[in-house]
Amino acid sequence: MRIATFNLWNNPTLWSKRIESICATVKMIEADVLALQEVKTHVEGEQGISVAEQIAHETGYPFCVFLAYPDSPDEGLAVLSNIPLDTNDAIWHHEVEEANYCAMRVTFQAGGHAFGLTNVHLNWRSPVIREAQVQAVRKWIGEGERYELLCGDFNDNPQSEIYRDLTAHRWIDVATCDRGGDEPTLDYVHNPYLKQDSLQKQPARYDWMLLRHDEGNVPLISSVDVFGKTSDSITDVLPSDHYGVLLNLDIS
Domain definitions of the chain by residue range: 2-250
The pTM score is 0.95
pLDDT value, residue 196: 77
Return d(Cα 174, Cα 182) in angstroms, integer. 9
CATH of 2-250 among 1.10.10.10, 1.10.3720.10, 3.60.10.10, 3.30.420.40: 3.60.10.10
Report residues of the chain scoring pLDDT below 70. Answer: 45-47, 197-200, 215-218
Rounded (10°) CA dihedral 233, 235, 236, 241: -120
- Contact (CB, 8 A) for 6 and 237: no
DSSP SS3 for 65: strand
Segments of 96-181 assigned E as strands: 103-110, 113-121, 147-153, 172-173
